[in-house]
Amino acid sequence: MKQKRIRLFIDKRTSAGQREKIIYLAIEKGCNTLVLSMDDKYFEGKNEDYKYIKLINNNALFIEAGGHNLRMLLPRKKYFFQRDLFRMDQGRRKTDHHFCPTNPRTISIVSENAEQLFSRVLEKVTTPRIFHLLPDKNHENTWCSCPACRAFTPPEQYLMILNTASDALAKLDNEARIIYLVFDKDPQAQGIIPRKNLIASKKLT
Ligand SMILES: [Zn+2]
């Protein structure tokens, strides 16, 4: 029988000492799964003798990757030369949240980066692998309003990026799944069909 995963999301800025404490407390409360940011130092594979890593191993915790990692799919430094990759807000391109998903170049960069990010962490993620790709916190609806994107709602724009990332993931592991956030009141109204390896979630659990 598949074991239900009770998750604890860990902020990548959490120190090794703090991790040990919060993981210990979480295990006591029945947590069996840790979700670590895709750029978390855990995935670098060094420092294996940290106590929190021993805690993970001794308790055979499931490891998942992701969090508010959507922004990692498009490096902000690209703004200097390719502003149209980024979202438009009142006629101006901005780097603060998300991107312009109807630009084919955005999609090709997202695809490339997704593949790189997933393959970097793949080995350390427990099978069947679960990833989390969440939009920026409190800015779930802050997406692109360029002439091409205007026809799509923020949840639809989010799904375009998720579908791209899902395709990249399926190439590496077609059993893996991505959990994403449904933040629209009426998800059925979305005009973009989610890929089969995407799992909609109404809240982070
Ligand atoms: Zn756009």
**3-class SS letters over 112-169:** HHHHHHHHHHHHHCCCCCEEEECCCCCCCCCCCCCCCHHHCCHHHHHHHHHHHHHHHH
Number of separate domains in the chain = 1
Length of the chain: 205
The per-residue b/e assignment along 110-131, b for 16 or more CB within 10 angstroms, e otherwise, is bbebbbebbeebbeebeeebbb
- Is 1 within the bounds of a domain? no
Calculate how far, in angstroms, residue 110's C-alpha sits from the geometric centre of ligand 1.
14
- Is 132 within the bounds of a domain? yes
Residues 83-131 pLDDT 10s: 999 999 999 999 999 999 999 999 999 999 999 999 999 999 999 999 9
Task: Collect residues with CB below 5 Å from ion ligand 1.
Answer: 100, 144, 146, 149
Q: Which of the residue ranges 39-43, 182-186, 187-191 would you say has the lowest mean pLDDT?
A: 187-191
- Is 20 within the bounds of a domain? yes
Calculate how far, in angstroms, residue 32's C-alpha sits from the geometric centre of ligand 1.
40
Calculate how far, in angstroms, residue 150's C-alpha sits from the geometric centre of ligand 1.
7
Which tokens go with 112? 């490339």
- Is 103 within the bounds of a domain? yes
Calculate how far, in angstroms, residue 144's C-alpha sits from the geometric centre of ligand 1.
5
Range of the domain at 176: 7-201
3-state secondary structure of 58: helix
Calculate how far, in angstroms, residue 193's C-alpha sits from the geometric centre of ligand 1.
19
Average pLDDT value for the chain? 92
Calculate how far, in angstroms, residue 45's C-alpha sits from the geometric centre of ligand 1.
37
Calculate how far, in angstroms, residue 147's C-alpha sits from the geometric centre of ligand 1.
7
Rounded Cα distance, 99 and 101, in Å: 6
- Is 116 within the bounds of a domain? yes
pLDDT for 47 beyond 70: no
Q: Has this prediction a pTM greater than 0.85?
A: yes
Measuring CA to CA, how many Å separate 96 from each of 74, 75, 77, 135, 198?
Answer: 11, 11, 12, 12, 25
Q: Which of the residue ranges 56-60, 78-82, 181-185 would you say has the lowest mean pLDDT?
A: 181-185
- Is 2 within the bounds of a domain? no
CATH code, domain with 153: 3.20.20.80
pLDDT for 50 beyond 70: yes
